[in-house]
Amino acid sequence: MTGSPIRRLALFAPAFALILFACAPGKSQSAWQRWGITRSDEGRAAEARFVAAHRQLYELEFGRAESAYAALAQEFPSSAEAHLGYAMALRYSGKNEPALDQCRRSLELDSGAVAALNCYGDLVSPLRSLPNDP
């Protein structure tokens, strides 16, 4: 592969970030704590569904996670956690435009959510949108 070291780093950064994120020491915490989201109260029944969706995301089952988060975001439209999870599943599936819409919605609901800010930055950063080097 040719090109500058920065360009090469930009190509591998998303995969590296996902690995670090999935292996983070705080993985045993609930995602909303780890993601820095102001917790909304969807109830115990919904909590199990959020846990299942988070598990699918961390196990790299992006299609299943996308479906689970889409249902959660529809059922709980004021949940920043649901919209952020949906954005992340979309992003890792290569669907950047709808991911950006969901990330913006998450930030509208919780402007200080660290993971939402990070996800948004990853989606709009020029380094993350470089074409693959032949």
What CA–CA distance (Å, rounded) separates 117 from 37? 11
Alpha carbons 55 and 22: distance in angstroms, whole number: 10
Cα torsion for 55, 30, 104, 58, to the nearest 10°? -20
The string of DSSP letters for 50-92 reads HHHHHHHHHTT-HHHHHHHHHHHHHH-TT-HHHHHHHHHHHHH
Indicate whether this model's pTM tops 0.85. no
3-state helix, strand and coil shares in percent for the chain, rounded to the nearest 5: 70, 0, 30
Taking only the tens of pLDDT, the chain with its 134 residues reads 456 666 655 555 565 555 555 545 444 445 545 565 655 666 677 888 888 898 998 888 999 999 999 999 999 898 888 999 999 999 888 898 999 999 999 988 888 888 888 888 888 875 655 555 44
